[in-house]
Amino acid sequence: DTGVSQDPRHKITKRGQNVTFRCDPISEHNRLYWYRQTLGQGPEFLTYFQNEAQLEKSRLLSDRFSAERPKGSFSTLEIQRTEQGDSAMYLCASSLVSGYNSPLHFGNGTRLTVT
Amino acid sequence: DAKTTQPTSMDCAEGRAANLPCNHSTISGNEYVYWYRQIHSQGPQYIIHGLKNNETNEMASLIITEDRKSSTLILPHATLRDTAVYYCILRDTGTASKLTFGTGTRLQVTL
């Protein structure tokens, strides 16, 4: 399977702890996106990278959130000092840089539960 | 600032065509119409997209009205595995390549 891979699939943590998620995009894709989805809602955009450059960040991405994409390959999303409101599915997607005509391909997400 | 309007839910009998409508009356000339679906506990899956002309692929057909103010996604022979939330999205070609999701249509395919 050469799709977008996310790890772990599930994470349970206690409030105040730090967590880190990893995303491996489709190999030739140079754009990588992070989304968050809460129950009953559609995914919400957090941030995206073109190669290693972080080009856009949503207002949802508070100071406790940081995303990196070293060397333009895999990406990590870290949440510091987790809060119960951070409980959600965190989705990663990738696409080619060919503008609007290149679909995003999503992974199956990391489900975070903060207790 | 929802740009698309979809019914909250729809039912379809297995084997019949599922026709999912989407209104996008404020669509601009550079916006594509994208459709994704999300099966429970999975990430969104790309289905199809189009600009002006009708499009068809192995999964579905997309019919866009001539004035581009609405579209319909057609699953020609729905199966139980097509039960999912379907999202109609306008993709901004200007400032960003991201997708902005609404709440979609929950399609239930029944026996």
| Residues of B with Cβ-Cβ distance to A103 under 8 angstroms | 34, 46, 49
* Residue of B51, B63, B60, B100 whose CA lies nearest to B84: B60
Look up tokens 């965190």; give the residue. A90
> Closest Cα to residue A77, out of A96, A87, A64?
A64
Nearest Cβ partner of A103 from B46, B93, B104?
B46
The pLDDT mean for chain A works out to 93
Report the gap between the CA of B68 and the closest CA in chain A (Å).
17
- Helix, strand, coil content of chain A in percent (nearest 5): 10, 50, 45
For residue B102, the cross-strand partners are none
Q: What is the pLDDT of residues A35-90, one digit of tens each?
A: 999 999 999 999 999 999 999 999 988 999 999 999 889 999 999 999 999 999 99
Q: Which residues of B touch A102 (CB under 8 A)?
A: 97
The pLDDT assigned to A26 comes to 94
Chain centroid to CA B98: 16
In the prediction, which pLDDT does B92 show?
Answer: 75
Contact state of A31 with B97 under an 8 Å Cβ cutoff: yes
Among A43, A44, A100, the residue with its CB nearest the CB of B44 is: A43
Interface of A with B in 34-73 (CB under 8 A): 40-45, 48, 56
Phi, psi angles (nearest 5°) of residue A16: 100, -15
Output the CA angle A50-A52-A56, nearest 5 degrees. Answer: 50
A56-70, A96-110, B17-31, B44-58: which range is least confident on average?
A96-110
Query: A34 or B53: which carries more pLDDT confidence?
Result: A34
Residue A99 has pLDDT above 70, yes or no: no
| Span B10-39, average pLDDT | 95
**Are residues A105 and A3 in contact, defined by beta-carbon separation less than 8 angstroms?**
yes
Structure tokens at B110: 């029944």
Q: What pLDDT digit, counting tens, does each position of B60-72 carry?
A: 999 999 999 999 9
* Percent of chain B at pLDDT exceeding 70: 95
Q: Pull the structure tokens for residue A6.
A: 């996310």
